[in-house]
Amino acid sequence: MSHPSPSPSLQATFEAALQDSQIDAGTVGQMDSESQPEHVWAAFDSAQAAQAGLNPEALLSQTGDRGALFVLLENRETDPSLASLRNHLWPHFHAVAIYDGKGDRVKRRTVGSSEDLQKGSGGGQVYLLRRLQEVMSPETTTAKFDQNAKGWDGVPGSPGYPHFRWMRRYVGLYGKPDRASRILDFGSGAGWVGIEAAKCFPGSSLFLFDPSPEMVVQPCEGRVGFGDEPPFPRAGEEPYDWVISSGVISFAPDSEAWLDGLCRTLAPGGTLVIGDIQLESKGFRKRRKSHPLLPVRELNAKSASWVRKALEARGFQFLRGSAYQLTYPVPQVMHVNETKLGGVLSRPLLWLNQLGAGLSSWSGGKGQGCFDSWVMHLRAPGE
């Protein structure tokens, strides 16, 4: 059962959350109210009560297209209880912030950040979720990656750089064909995977595109666009004999439309290499149980077997698939290595990852759950 009204201290936290998220209180109404507000709130004693009382489908019809859902909790909850509530509301809503009322202040948590917002009284907890279509909208994606673009080249000499280069190279060379003249990096970021591939064939042409204009700045032909309507090839242009897409499908709100777009770019018989994060790895499963705030792609990712089936249904021939990037606790050790140990473990950790990837490849892709990423090589139909 939801409460008719929050306690005064929870109300104070709610007001801080509204102000911080720049949502006008006049556009927010209580769940199940007759007035059809843009955004909805509902108050409960606990996350468990919220899970029992919130019906995600019904909530979709109660919120506007860009609507937010504020779940107000009288008692501050553990992160695993909030994560369970988030999983219940997925894929209709995705959690973007938590406001903790801590008596003398309200603290805001988002993915990767935590900040005290204000002095003053506040109690309980407010969990802010947004409609998935809003979180994964083209505008949100472009803004997010424009902001991240500066860090996308890696920093040569930094503790994380050897791993960064190895990963790009691993995927870039995974399905290396005997010859290639037109190479497309599909959702390229700064283009490092495509660059590794193009280096194998001097004289080849590299094309790349990304939704973020800030990313597409390499000295080769770059365009701005999304995978479901790729900007390559334009009318009158040839398709591509080697297409690589690394770490992108998990960002697509409609994976089928995105795959249709990907398949349209390939020349008959062309080489496709696609890779992404591994939804069912031990590390990602653990994170979904314990972390109430996660990047949306960690929930939206597709398994390698799902992608393989979807591509085979489009006439592609699967040639080889395997996994790379060891899962929990290796990324956590890498983080400590980079932030606290000054990189003393960078080489041994890289060797461990290289050994793991080698074993996965040798075994034909067995043990996918031990890795955070997958990659596969397919041939396009038609030759």
Ligand X SMILES: C[S@@+](CC[C@H](N)C(=O)[O-])C[C@H]1O[C@@H](n2cnc3c(N)ncnc32)[C@H](O)[C@@H]1O
Which residues contact ligand X (rule: CB under 6 A)? 141, 145, 187-189, 192-193, 210-212, 215, 226-227, 246-248, 251-252, 258
CA atoms within 13 A on the CB side of 56: 16
- Three-state SS at 381: coil
Burial of 76 (0-12, 13-18, 19+ CB in 10 A): middle
Residue 85 Cβ, how far from ligand X at the closest point, in Å?
27
Distance CA 295, CA 132 (A): 12
Residue 11 Cβ, how far from ligand X at the closest point, in Å?
38
- Residue whose CB is less far from ligand X, 232 or 258: 258
Distances (CA, A) of 119 to 17, 18, 104, 251: 13, 16, 6, 37
Residue 40 Cβ, how far from ligand X at the closest point, in Å?
28
- Residue whose CB is less far from ligand X, 125 or 255: 255
- Residue whose CB is less far from ligand X, 189 or 222: 189
Residue 69 Cβ, how far from ligand X at the closest point, in Å?
24
- Residue whose CB is less far from ligand X, 98 or 183: 183
DSSP string, 25-79: GGGEEETT-TT--SEEEEEESSHHHHHHH--HHHHHHHS-TT-EEEEEESS---H
Residue 112 Cβ, how far from ligand X at the closest point, in Å?
15
- Residue whose CB is less far from ligand X, 18 or 193: 193
User: Sheet of 28-30: strands edge to edge?
Assistant: 28-30, 39-44, 68-73, 125-131, 93-101, 103-110, 113-122
Residue 212 Cβ, how far from ligand X at the closest point, in Å?
4
Cβ atoms of 272 and 375 within 8 Å: the answer is no
Ranked by CB distance to ligand X, the top (closest) residue is 189
- Residue whose CB is less far from ligand X, 212 or 368: 212
Distance CA 41, CA 80 (A): 22
Residue 249 Cβ, how far from ligand X at the closest point, in Å?
8
- Residue whose CB is less far from ligand X, 225 or 369: 225
| Cis peptide, bond prior to residue 233, ω within 30 of zero | yes
